[in-house]
Amino acid sequence: MSFRVDLNVIAQQEQLSRFALTLHNLSDDAITIQSFNFIFDRYVTPNSVQHGTFTQVGSHCRFTPSSARLDANDSMYLEFEVNTFPLRYLSDGIKDACIETIEFKKPISVTRTPIVLVKPTATEETVPAVEPSKLALIPQPTHLTRADGNLILGREFNLVSCHPDAQAAIQWLQDESLSLHGLSLRITPTDSHPSIDYIHNPIFDQDAYRITVTALGCLVEAGEPAGFHNASATLLQLMQTNSIGHCSLPVVTIKDSPRFSYRGFMLDCARHFHPISSIKRLINQLAHYKINTFHWHLTDDEAWRIEIKALPELTDIGAWRGPGLPIEPQFSHASQKYGGVYTQQQIKGLIEYAQRRGITIIPEIDIPGHCRAAIRSLPDMLVDTDDPSRYRSVQNYSDNVLSPALKGTYQFLDIVLEEIAQLFPSQWVHIGADEVPKGVWVDSAACQAMMLEHGYQSPVELQGHLLRYAEQKLKSFGKRMVGWEEAQHGNKVSKETVIYSWLSEDAAINCAKQGFDVILQPAQYTYLDMAQSDMASEPGVDWANSISLKHAYHYRPLSAVDEQDPIHKRVLGIQAAIWSEIITDQERLDYMLFPRITALAEVMWSREQQRHWPDYLARLKGHLTQLKRQGVTYRAPWN
């Protein structure tokens, strides 16, 4: 059987595009179409589709033609419109498609030709040519002096340490030296030559460290485990091996500490499932760039990934999507069951793996919006059948918000938050709170009664009410709630909540002025699911803008805030992120991450005066061999 779909943009304005879609039957037989299903993530104006019935749930579009028969070598044609900004990329087209027919029991996959765009861009800005730097350190340290000569360590040498704070960092250095450089490092408690000696020095605070390399030895000093980890990351970038596998370190003194104490990366594991092995690989990579926090986006409309022992339906049902399942196919795999679960056992292993690399894992359970997978899994608990309110979320769902007037919502939160709090040692738990659609709850008699009871003027206060409940619950488990910038809408959560701004830096600055601690995650610079150029062939999205390597590197956090302004103290750090709508596999993840994550790691760590674009490029060029060695399929900055 052979079917193909073509999609052309036939007219395009700022907020209106019109499409022509053709489905070809290239087989030798006529078929009777029950539905043509395709994945397309813009919202199709429903009454723009004719000659059949059309429904869309999220990115899943289903068209049932009024004339069902499609003869061999014939085609079916339809047009439709969207009222969003223009499409620029081939990855904006149909992501997958299949047909359901009378003749065949299973859905039949449909191949796709690339979307035909209006005026596709074929060129991109080039990165200046540079010579690779021999001292390829990323992020750039605060103070570095290089002298002549090298410390020759050979192929096998000792790591000396007595202090327990250095133990994990030394173990990690040992593992990574072996896997990256083929080096055998012995750990001994006594002085011996040649060696790298880790010494506890209480003058260094949390992340800070000093490395002193002479021709005779290497001394690493730090005051806390984080400082030792950062030193190990630097050593791994300083190590040079020659053609016979012998290691040397350049004679340097490095005294280093970060600009921001929180340096984070968020991965969305709901839209596509990333196996534990891939997350471990990522966490290990983050440690190399001194990123100390992994924010794990575990639940969303399209999947609930974390095992909750008291509510097995959440993963039995909510972790899977596919034809005929409670959750329709989304973003890929139109004709198959797709999904995955992280068991609590696996999560414990991952937490330990991250701890050994100096990385804290913050779990995110996104409420009250972005909850469709949970709601589809637990309809008896989470669906308010008496609420006729109509709404549509940004991602095209009309049934993805928890109700603040439903008893089940609170039972659900009690169970989930307790298991999360017990499982994750992290002080912080992320509660999401983003993108609750307008129109939610407005026609619910129970919500209206609740507003009256509490004197609330706007439904957004109901959201605040729910989040305050979550905040207090988490507090009772000894946790601090953190959430997206919308968490403080409705003015109910306490100033203890940490706010992550994502739409821009402005929300963070406003929240910091009000007394919240904040994390900066502006989509315009830090969302690495944004495409890396304007070229049509570039995979990615661009609702914030495209983010080239140069653009990412030139993020200047808080550049609009006076240096003396006390709100700087409220800005705890910076986080980069990947939303996984189009991140289907490891290769795509690598491509979107590298090398931009190295640029953003430098934004998080290094002060403005240490950051220079040509100098960073030279270090990046020197560093690429290390990425190659790890098998990272990065986007080549130079062709």
Q: Which residues are catalytic?
A: 300, 370, 435
Q: How far is the CB of 83 from ligand ACM (least distance, A)?
A: 20
Contacts of 407 by beta carbon, 8 Å cutoff, 6+ apart: none
CB closer to ligand ACM, 315 vs 501: 501
Q: Concatenated DSSP letters for 91-131?
A: GGS--EEEEEESS-SS-EE-EEPPPB-SS-----PPPPP-P
Residue with tokens 């996959």: 109
Residue 248 backbone dihedrals phi, psi, to 5 degrees: -140, 160
Helix 276-288 to helix 344-355 angle (10° resolution) is: 20
- Residue closest to ligand ACM when measured from CB atoms: 434
8 A C-beta contact, residue 430 and residue 334: no
Amino acid letter for position 210? R
CB closer to ligand ACM, 6 vs 364: 364
* Interacting residues with ligand ACM (CB under 6 A): 434-435, 484, 502
CB closer to ligand ACM, 485 vs 602: 485
Residue 467 backbone dihedrals phi, psi, to 5 degrees: -70, -35
Contacts of 520 by beta carbon, 8 Å cutoff, 6+ apart: 501, 505, 508, 526, 557, 558, 571, 573, 574, 575
Q: How far is the CB of 502 from ligand ACM (least distance, A)?
A: 4
8 A C-beta contact, residue 295 and residue 263: no
Count the Cβ atoms, other than its own, within 10 Å of residue 65: 19
Radius of gyration over alpha carbons of the chain, in Å? 27
Strand partners, 174: none
8 A C-beta contact, residue 623 and residue 549: no
Residue with tokens 């969003």: 84
Q: How far is the CB of 271 from ligand ACM (least distance, A)?
A: 12
Amino acid letter for position 227? G
Q: How far is the CB of 329 from ligand ACM (least distance, A)?
A: 22
Residue 316 backbone dihedrals phi, psi, to 5 degrees: -60, -40
Q: How far is the CB of 520 from ligand ACM (least distance, A)?
A: 13
Residue 293 backbone dihedrals phi, psi, to 5 degrees: -135, 130
8 A C-beta contact, residue 36 and residue 97: yes
8 A C-beta contact, residue 298 and residue 276: no
For the chain, the distance separating the N- and C-terminal CA atoms, rounded to the nearest angstrom, is 40
Output the CA angle 602-577-43, nearest 5 degrees: 145
